[in-house]
Amino acid sequence: MKVAAIQMVSTPVRDENLAAAARLIDAAAAQGARLVSLPEYFCHFGWKETDKFQVAEAEGQGPIQDLLSAKAREHGIWLAGGSLPLKTPDPSKVTNTALMFDPQGRLVARYDKLHLFSFQDGERSLDESRTMVAGRQCVTVDTEVGRVGLSICYDVRFPELYRALGEVDLLLVPSAFTETTGRAHWELLLRARAVENQCYVLAAAQGGTHANGRRTFGHSMLVDPWGEVLATQALEEGVIIGEINAERLQSVRKMVPALRHRRLRSPAEFDL
């Protein structure tokens, strides 16, 4: 069954990004994808950290969520909305949230990013905790391509999150990795998560130089449960397509039954 990752170079203008996302979702659906994932911050890549407040929506309301619902329904696909800012009771903070819509356009899962990124290299300083509230729960959703585990970007550095999800067939990692960290760790981390969890990993990324000067690494990728990269795109916008094969999953799990050999187990959900 085909899945697709959409790569974007999002701008500070929400409506430009929504138009680009719509066009790329259409292209993925036309190629037969049954599940499509957008990248982190697909809807907005602002000049400064607080710009996201201008486009933040309440859950179930707003043009970003309206587009996702409409496109899922139009094409009859599972649509993972990368991430978008959702409002919180604190007007100075938002959540960085991944939403999953089913083929009828219904919102069926919400995941708020658990691990908030910070980075300093002497030239640039990023700290998501200044403007975001961290999530509190792990989330999985059953789809026609299998059980899907949700995560966002920096989460990929925390293997305990993926263990806590239990046995899944596909992990989503929508991201906006920096050029520096991406060059060093992106493929390594994605392949590691695929191998240790014996599942597919689909990572839709931001990839290029943005209006604010930030450079994101791109290299959207589909990795199979043996750690093989099935599809990738280096930079600029585009769509990568690949197959989720249930027989391949079972073959890998039978050959090396690591999931059955686990001695330390985590619950499917936890409260932090």
List residues with catalytic annotation: 40, 113, 153
Q: Taking the CB of residue 191, how many other CB atoms lie within 10 A of it?
A: 18
Nearest to 5 by CA among 262, 218, 241, 266: 241
Q: Are the C-beta atoms of residues 220 and 7 closer than 8 Å to each other?
A: yes
Q: Which helix (H) or strand (E) holds 252?
A: helix 246-255
> What's the angle, vertex CA 137, arms to CA 33 and CA 151, rounded to 5?
35
Residue 154's Cβ-count burial label (10 Å; 0-12, 13-18, 19+) is buried
Which has the closest alpha carbon to 133: 99, 91, 175?
91
What is the rounded distance in angstroms from the CA atom of residue 233 to the CA atom of residue 123? 28
- Strand 2-7 vs strand 238-243: parallel, antiparallel, or unpaired? antiparallel
